[in-house]
Amino acid sequence: MIAYSQLASEILWGAQPVLQLAVAVVLCRRKERKQFPVFFAYLLSQILIFAVTFPLWRMARVNESLYGWFFWLYWLGAAVSAVLGFKVIHEIFLDVFRPYPTLKDLGTVLFKWAGVVMLMVSVVVAFSNSSQQDPFVNAVTTLQRSVRLVQCGLILFLLFFSRFLGVSRRQHSFGLALGFGLFASVELALLVLAPGGLLQRESVNLINTATYNLSILIWLGYALAHAAVRETAVNHLQTQRWEQSLADLHSAESAPSIASHSLIPMFEGMVERAISRSSNLEDVDPLVDAPRRPSAPSPRPSSLPAAAAAAGSKGRV
């Protein structure tokens, strides 16, 4: 049974670059590559990663001295996939909020800070882990799981708020989010079930790889279908009120000398005022010089099992 699972996983893994190449070709022929350039780059990177890692993996099964090359190239490719996967989420977000430039600008700021936070968490987890796992592997694994959570949140957001935003479920951006969200949901569920011994490692790899192939088929189906126009939002006035409220706040906070129409200067000004106010309060606070109670020592972080870092399919998003 294990041998059949391994064989099926290899076949499905080998089918991934073929399907990804088909999606890339369709995007080029329909001249939609410029609409989603990051997603197109993601597809090409996955094909390149497969072309490098798959032959090395086959040769490493015969010559163990090549396993080190396969190990580092595999995890380097996983890091590239995680970063591009997060960028694709941002690209989908921009396409969804294209009619609302102020909301789109706010989302861009939030995405930048979310990316910084995920990188910081990955680095902290990598170097504070007491297990024997390599810090780089821990960092990439944490980054991947963070991106998976964001991908799940994106598809849930579109499912619940697509009617408010006028997003048709036949739009290409919705199809991209659906594919990523499906794979991310299944992978996170497998990460919960696998450590408890409910599923064997071969079964986890098979389910993960099959789900990713299904995601590529969803992208291929949306790429072949004609792009649907945006629907009329059910509660268009409410969305317009969100847009107008942010635009009014931007106009009130921005200085006349600022020529940019971005929300970034507004947020920078708000942060500067908050910092200046907190510093002024510290100057007049009579309790500043009072002795402070020492904080309790933080508990030592628990180590991640080595098997969890290697969980997932060979074709990571």
What pLDDT, on the 0 to 100 scale, is given for residue 25? 95
Instruction: Say how far apart CA 139 and CA 125 lie, in whole Å.
Output: 7
What pLDDT, on the 0 to 100 scale, is given for residue 301? 37
> Please, where are the H alpha helices in the chain?
2-29, 37-60, 67-96, 101-128, 135-165, 172-193, 201-224, 236-253, 264-284, 306-309
pLDDT per residue over 280-309, tens digit each?
A: 544 444 333 333 333 333 333 333 333 333
Is 97:103 a contact under the CB 8 Å cutoff? yes
* Cα–Cα–Cα angle for 7, 12, 18, rounded to 5 degrees: 135
What pLDDT, on the 0 to 100 scale, is given for residue 219? 95
Is 88:95 a contact under the CB 8 Å cutoff? no
What pLDDT, on the 0 to 100 scale, is given for residue 304? 32
What pLDDT, on the 0 to 100 scale, is given for residue 269? 56
What pLDDT, on the 0 to 100 scale, is given for residue 308? 35
What pLDDT, on the 0 to 100 scale, is given for residue 252? 54
Structure tokens at 244: 């107008």
Residues 6+ apart with CB under 8 A from 131: 138, 303, 304, 305, 306
Greatest Cα pair distance, the chain, in angstroms, is 73
pTM: 0.70
Sign, CA dihedral 49-118-109-233, equals positive
Structure tokens at 46: 């996955």
What pLDDT, on the 0 to 100 scale, is given for residue 6? 81
Is 78:52 a contact under the CB 8 Å cutoff? no
What pLDDT, on the 0 to 100 scale, is given for residue 22? 96
What pLDDT, on the 0 to 100 scale, is given for residue 248? 58
pLDDT < 70 positions in the chain: 1-2, 99-100, 102-104, 106-107, 126, 129-132, 162, 164-166, 227-317
Cα–Cα nearest to 195, from 49, 306, 272, 62? 306
